[in-house]
Chains A and B, each alone.
Chain A
Amino acid sequence: MKYTLSFTLNGCEVDVLVKPNDTLLDVLREKLQVLSPKRGCDTGDCGACTVLLEGEPVRSCLTIAMTVAGKKVRTIEAFTSGEGKLHPLQQAFHEHGATQCGFCTPGMLLSSISLLEKNPKPSREEIVEAISGNLCRCGTYLEAVEAIEAVANGEGKE
């Protein structure tokens, strides 16, 4: 049995047929071809599947798809404008070398974006806490923290 799920994805209304046990990650990746959330562990441990649900970072692999009905979901695709202009955090991650293999990057960026949307001047401890659920096996944590600090301190503002 499938049900129609309607929600707002990156500013667009979408309707999609889903099974009751489909996760949001299944729906985004396998049905809607929104590929920036990654399937790293599929058990809520690694954070590579992080998306923003009503502004809050959530693990889409643990989110039953039907529960986002009528809600706003954003992935990293939402933050690059049509002219290819990057979000300041995307720019800072790039410039600070906060990516290596890149598999954790979309998720870590979304956790960072959510942090600065709520708390534009976080302490270093708050930054570390905000990205603590996003594992990076390459070990780019230091560069990521520096990139987020740089944006919080005004770098990348016009």
Chain B
Amino acid sequence: MGKYIGQPIPRYEGLGHVTGTTRYVDDVSLPGMLYIKALRSPVHKGIIHSLDVSAAVNMPGVAGVITAKDIPGQNAYYATDQPVLVKEHIRYKGERIAAVAAVDEDTAQEAVEKIKLDIEEQAPVFDPFEAMKPDAPKVRPEGNLWEFNSGRRRVLRKGDVEKGFAEADEIVEHRYVEKMNDHAPMEPHVAVAYIDENDRLAIHTVSQARHFHLTQLCPVFNLPISKVHLIGGTVGGGFGGKNEMQCEHVAGVMALKLRRAVKFRLSRKEDLLYSTKRGAFVFDYKSGVKKDGHVTAHQVRGVHDIGAYHTMGEYAVEKQCLYLAGPYAVPNVWYDGHAVFTNKPVASSMRGFAVVNVTYASEIQMNLLAEAIGMDPWEIRFINAWRDGDTAPTQWKVVAAGLIESMKKAAEMDGIELPEHLKAMSSRRR
């Protein structure tokens, strides 16, 4: 124990929290500030034929309206596939089409409702397995499967799974289905934008990833980094949801057009319905195990429902390659991972996304394998745990392995007496 380790340390911003003086983005108000409300798609999939904002523009109290054609730079962010304001193709219900700035939110909302939108509704697809069929409605013109560098699936092959199954005494097959989650932080998405005294576009942001977002926003605004000032750092809960922007781009474009301070905040309902989610995953595992406890093979098919746009879908599926066999030395691993577009809100990061999802599946699979050979679930994990020098499914060589030591400590803390032959094991040797 030293000065810090093992000692309670007060949160450095804790005094601000307990006195109510911490300033969050919605606490920022500026003189003459306008409020934004967005027109959102009422359909899950469709084509916009016409958009007439004149009735909104002419309403008393309205300062301005923006649509796709008001965006100074590229109308795309993230994998540059997601529009700030949709011009033509609607891919999920609630996508932003236009935004109104007015003296207050009630007036802005009233003006939004005056916008005339002619939209041709098309048949959507929600189920990722339906979306994978060749004749499914296309969420995207290029098809519903994300193109990895290994084709329309992430391919991972280590060893030979057929050989692994042949060596196994028992085979266990199981499907794991995981649903979408919302982050639901206490603070909904919000941004305040204005032109500052140095003629920079200043934006108060709830971003969890300010520099990442800065590089995405500059092409939208057609401004160099030196002309965009993202002010942030205080987040009322993010949990990954604030790795994604919901307000910053719209508020920035509006501030540039009107040269006025604007605030764009989502209601709780909008935040829940239209912000990004932890994407849904399905994993089909087929695994082999010998009677002595050695896992011989995992064959895994993964389907990740990434919603209407890409953002981190590819990254999620890539990450699973490292984790799908758990921290265990499995000689034969086969994986086909799909990232599938559906007409749903966008899937993105949330609290260990992809990792916890595939770990949930792989750890239950370990229990089922133990059950199949009548072995204790602790023992199968000790037998297969990574030792220094083992290789992960990605051929990455394990260094400083620590599962065995961690499990011994966990058992001790939980009052579980492990048998001597497990206690004698070490991550340093097999």
Contacts and interface: CB of A to CB of B under 8 A. Distances in A.
Q: Which of A38, A45, A75, A103 has the most CB of B within 10 A?
A: A103
Given A40-B188, A94-B11, A103-B186, A86 B18 contact: yes
A60 to B, nearest CB: 13
Contact of A103 (B18, B19, B24, B29): B24
Contacts of B238: 101
B430 interface: no
Contact of B268 (A33, A41, A104): A41
Contact of A102 (B10, B17, B183, B184): B17
Interface in A19-64: 29-30, 33, 35-36, 38-43, 45-46, 48
Contacts of A66: none
B13 A102 contact: yes
B73 interface: no
B20 A103 contact: no
B18 A105 contact: yes
Contacts of A30: 29
Nearest to A47: B186
Contacts of A106: 20
A93 interface: yes
A148 interface: no
A99 B16 CA distance: 10
Interface in A77-97: 77, 80, 86, 90-91, 93-95, 97
Contacts of B10: 94-95, 97
Chain B interface residue count: which class?
Answer: 20 to 34
A99 B29 contact: no
A55 to B, nearest CB: 18
A45 B16 CA distance: 24
A99 B236 contact: no
B15 A38 contact: no
A102 B19 contact: no
A71 interface: no
B430 to A, nearest CB: 39
A35 B23 contact: yes
Contacts of B27: 29, 35
Contact of A38 (B8, B13, B19, B187): B187
A29 B267 CA distance: 16
B239 interface: yes
A86 B186 contact: no
Given A40-B187, A97-B8, A103 B267 contact: no
Given A90-B18, A102-B17, A137 B185 contact: yes
Interface string B174-213: 0000000001111110000000000000000000000000
Q: Which of B186, B237, B267 has the most CB of A within 10 A?
A: B186
Nearest to A95: B10
B235 interface: yes
Given A35-B27, A101-B235, A102-B236, A40 B18 contact: no
Given A35-B27, A94-B11, A101 B18 contact: no
A35 B20 contact: yes
A109 B16 CA distance: 13
B215 interface: no
B406 interface: no
Given A80-B19, A93-B17, 16 more contacts: A29-B27, A33-B29, A38-B24, A38-B236, A40-B186, A40-B268, A43-B268, A48-B186, A94-B10, A94-B15, A97-B10, A103-B187, A104-B186, A105-B20, A137-B185, A137-B239
Interface of A: 29-30, 33, 35-36, 38-43, 45-46, 48, 75-77, 80, 86, 90-91, 93-95, 97, 99-106, 109, 135-138
10 interchain residue pairs of minimum CB distance: A36-B20, A102-B17, A103-B236, A103-B186, A99-B17, A76-B20, A90-B18, A41-B268, A106-B20, A101-B237
8 contacts: A30-B29, A75-B20, A76-B20, A94-B11, A94-B17, A102-B16, A109-B18, A136-B186
